[in-house]
Structure 1
């Protein structure tokens, strides 16, 4: 996850397009367990280079029960297709019913086995071990990641097989369990791409749906299969796929690999045989967007084939962007912030100029002093919050743009109890929270100028301190304060229209920074990634990238910066981070260090 498209400046490292390992590492499943003495912790497999393949060894002849447990756990960390070697440690119902794809439980360290119950007879034919550890996350059957906490305690039961007199596991926990370091080596996050439903976002656009796949086990085929299955449960209510229900790869399809021209042929079953040309191109666009996220320079063209092998359609990279708006679209022309005179100013994004100029129109003329602002994604309008936080103004960014009356007012007793920094979504609606303790509300103004509509927020606990809507218009990031702690949540935006009007709701909020007790600033930084400023319990302030599913982005976060109060990132990761810190307005370009832009300034923003 940092699983966002190419042109990478801030996010994850660009993935290699070669999928054949340069070597292999064998996991000695039985070598580390002695016949006597204390049970030892299962060592987590050291992190390997991305090209190294890791394989497990089958059970040794006459292996002791503890060696079988150790070998099985190590086999779970291998790159073995369909866990064929791990299955050799199983017998009976465990062998018949075990489904490794059902779930993956991620622990802080590799699971620790110890004897819970042994046989009561001297020559027992059964053993039972309890696996334990601290839970970090769960990857479900849809390959969606969810942070979890608490203790992990599950039982593994072994029996002596009558015919061979060999020890094997006949009862075991569901799915796969492994330590965090093995998970990070074995699995990679990707964005599947679907279309936002028209009712939710207006014009067709794409929305990222992050999942984890095993990175060394036929990854391209895994990615395609996951995409064909449709959106994950959390995203499904606001997303759609153009693949007909039941569409899958044609039976007998082998591993999918782009050819030397970066062209990928995808054979589908009969469910796709009767699709129209336009729908087929939408299907191909979804595949291109998804595969280019996983391997940015690896697929330039997709050919879809039907159940008989006949060509359904062909779509190239240039054509895919015509099908629907995708990703960050065009790069921002400017970075914006509030200067020392409380006016909205801007800097050319691709220019070394560090002298800001006032935006055209009333918000740049100082007619009303501002403390924060938001610029529409088309950079033709801006919304500004007055210096005391009580009023919201919306004005065109043109020379003759007038200020007009406030679009919204707050009756909060203090500045901290009034309006938050506003945010524009991808359909041109304007969002802002009123923090008045007597009447806390999340509001949306249709097209930035409609009557403020109160957003329903079932399940929301605490007060909204910050709101940022994603470019797709169907996901929102909120900083919520509850009992003195501030945490970052992602919610799904649902819109329902009937004869009485439109209802907008934020549903299924989920925490994406469970280890941070104080989140002070955040910004979208890609299709499924945010940059966050906060601190852990008893820790110091830090800045990091996190994905919308709560998983950490790979690699190091932004370099350290003192006293960060606000942060702004573009969905285009090639554009620099901008922050308000103890040094004023500062900027961090890819591959560079933080540089001061101006000493006096606050509230940096990109369009959105």
Structure 2
């Protein structure tokens, strides 16, 4: 792929419409490319060989071919009519290889049909909802059947599997990850909270719908959440709501107002619900437009305004639960006491003991977790046997342990605790004889066991809760390896009389890493992880909650990182515990810097 000035134009070597501007250069479509380069397909040449037909068809899938019209020229009329390229996308490690069941010479006119086998290594799928799902690298095998057209020498494909088949480099060039937002269901403290639901949309115009990236994202939002997240979120858009017919481009006007025309299903929505709908749109499109959207106007089917919501008004629905979020950090000092590093807007940044028994009490602690409102903290004793919960905003005596592990070895006892966005406290007891995932409602309730049906024989080593309270990140050890999985938190029953809580449908979030040793949420649908690829060295990198990896995910290396901490606000520094340099931080655009030579278990609230 060749990047030219501005938005370059690339012509596929074997494959339609011709570009009207820019230089043209033939390329191999499977080469890594720039997302700003636009690729055009080329129709099959006259008397193309079967190999050329198959090559051209596969390469034209990687183009920006409107309606895949040129791509369909490689198919028979019937196959072109029935082929559904938007059914799903198969992502392969590289562009698919192919071989025919037998060789055919140009002079051989007796052959009338051929079968080609397509092979490769499948690494992910993207379904009809645009949801990305990684898979353990597995063999991929599909077939194309070619026939000679009646009365001609032209070969065409008459049997073709639905969907697209793309190598990773082409997938990353053609698609981008977008967070659409829905409201967490069930009782929760404070205002309704938005939850990120990542999907992939085309970088430019979608070949099937003709929609630009913003319109694709809004259309996907209005259609509803992905199947994995659907049980724990809700959309304020009434059932049946869609964009007004014919809408293919959405962009903010010169006042940075994005106007979204809807159909009749939304005409009667009340103002409160409409404002919540508008907040879903606002957060979904925030990172998609070149000019920041400052206001969303939803329109009725006749074009009149349904409601208007400004970015400042949308803060009450912020996905992190507040407009700013806590920016202080907490850690355990060399004496086993909990200390706080005040945020940049609240103090000098010098460590200070927290108020209460965790700051100067009689029990030495090893790990700590702080509630998001920074009123309570939970700390695990140095021998990992006991979990204590106490105020860090006022003085008092150290209470009795809220949880105790009976395991014989410290490494088999309690994990570091974590708080969800609803104010509940979570911890894992790693006792081999009685492993438990526990939740303390409000941080002060009795510890209740959370069921994890998909756990199998794996053991929970560490856990971190998302700010929205509906997802949990788990480090699971099985067969000598530790992997990162994301689970959906489902709650049944009345919270006042007791809820049954379970973690279901565990999904791999870092499939490219053979072992993950530390992790933390870093924003609304992203985590920072420390781990190793097979046969590789330790790396610190970002991963998406759906298991995809951002192109710029690998971070500068740090020496022997044992834990990592990130904030809901992605602009706050990333923190890490290291064996040689103590606690270090990484600010955006900077290198790692030592913050404290002594101390451990540094965390942001959460």
- Using structure 1 for the length normalisation, give the TM-score: 0.91
User: Which residue of structure 2 aligns with residue 291 of structure 1?
Assistant: 285
Report how far residue 184 of structure 1 moved. 0.7
Residue 405 of structure 2 is aligned to residue 417 of structure 1: no
User: Which residue of structure 1 aligns with residue 493 of structure 2?
Assistant: 497
- Hey, what's the Cα distance between the residues in 1 that align with 2:257 and 2:478? 51
Aligned length: 579
- Hey, what's the Cα distance between the residues in 2 that align with 1:44 and 1:132? 17
User: Which residue of structure 1 aligns with residue 52 of structure 2?
Assistant: 67
Q: Which residue of 64, 84, 91 corresponds with 2:76?
A: 91
Which structure 2 residue ranges, 5 or more long, are not aligned? 17-26, 206-211
Deviates more, 1:207-216 or 1:151-160: 151-160
User: Which residue of structure 1 aligns with residue 21 of structure 2?
Assistant: none
Report how far residue 535 of structure 1 moved. 1.2
Secondary structure at the aligned position of 1:539 is classed as coil
Map 1:45-444 → 2, pairs under 5 A: 45-117=30-102, 122-148=109-135, 149-162=137-150, 165-199=153-187, 203-217=191-205, 218-295=212-289, 297-323=291-317, 326=320, 329-350=323-344, 355-444=350-439
Summarize deviations over 1:142-187 as a string: whole Å, max 9, x none.
1111112211111111222226653221111220001111111111
- Hey, what's the Cα distance between the residues in 1 that align with 2:219 and 2:436? 42
Deviates more, 1:567-576 or 1:250-259: 250-259
Deviates more, 1:45-54 or 1:319-328: 319-328
Summarize deviations over 1:420-452 as a string: whole Å, max 9, x none.
000000010000001111111000000000011
2:130–2:200: 8 Å Cα contact kept in structure 1? yes
1:531–1:569: 8 Å Cα contact kept in structure 2? yes
2:146–2:158: 8 Å Cα contact kept in structure 1? yes
2:369–2:377: 8 Å Cα contact kept in structure 1? yes
Deviates more, 1:294-303 or 1:580-589: 294-303
2:327–2:572: 8 Å Cα contact kept in structure 1? no
User: Which residue of structure 2 aligns with residue 38 of structure 1?
Assistant: none
Summarize deviations over 1:247-279 as a string: whole Å, max 9, x none.
111112232222232222211111111111211
Residues 481, 294 of structure 1: alpha-carbon distance in 2 compared, 3 angstrom cutoff: same
- Hey, what's the Cα distance between the residues in 2 that align with 1:298 and 1:88? 41
1:44–1:109: 8 Å Cα contact kept in structure 2? no
- Hey, what's the Cα distance between the residues in 2 that align with 1:139 and 1:246? 24
1:374–1:382: 8 Å Cα contact kept in structure 2? yes
- Hey, what's the Cα distance between the residues in 1 that align with 2:14 and 2:390? 67
Report how far residue 98 of structure 1 moved. 1.2
Residue 600 of structure 2 is aligned to residue 605 of structure 1: no
Residues 73, 145 of structure 1: alpha-carbon distance in 2 compared, 3 angstrom cutoff: same
Report how far residue 206 of structure 1 moved. 0.6
Summarize deviations over 1:431-489 as a string: whole Å, max 9, x none.
00011111110000000000111001101131110010100000000001112211111
Residues 213, 21 of structure 1: alpha-carbon distance in 2 compared, 3 angstrom cutoff: farther
Q: Which residue of 459, 465, 468 corresponds with 1:469?
A: 465
- Hey, what's the Cα distance between the residues in 2 that align with 1:200 and 1:168? 58
- Hey, what's the Cα distance between the residues in 1 that align with 2:446 and 2:161? 54
User: Which residue of structure 1 aligns with residue 24 of structure 2?
Assistant: none
Secondary structure at the aligned position of 1:322 is classed as helix
Q: Which residue of 569, 575, 598 corresponds with 1:578?
A: 575
User: Which residue of structure 1 aligns with residue 481 of structure 2?
Assistant: 485
2:321–2:421: 8 Å Cα contact kept in structure 1? no
User: Which residue of structure 2 aligns with residue 5 of structure 1?
Assistant: none
Residues 306, 265 of structure 1: alpha-carbon distance in 2 compared, 3 angstrom cutoff: same
- Hey, what's the Cα distance between the residues in 2 that align with 1:73 and 1:542? 35
Residues 326, 556 of structure 1: alpha-carbon distance in 2 compared, 3 angstrom cutoff: closer
Deviates more, 1:387-396 or 1:263-272: 263-272
- Hey, what's the Cα distance between the residues in 2 that align with 1:481 and 1:201? 33
User: Which residue of structure 2 aligns with residue 587 of structure 1?
Assistant: 585
User: Which residue of structure 1 aligns with residue 441 of structure 2?
Assistant: 446
1:198–1:204: 8 Å Cα contact kept in structure 2? no
Deviates more, 1:382-391 or 1:305-314: 305-314
Which structure 1 residue ranges, 5 or more long, are not aligned? 1-19, 32-41
Residues 311, 328 of structure 1: alpha-carbon distance in 2 compared, 3 angstrom cutoff: closer
Q: Which residue of 513, 517, 526 corresponds with 1:516?
A: 513
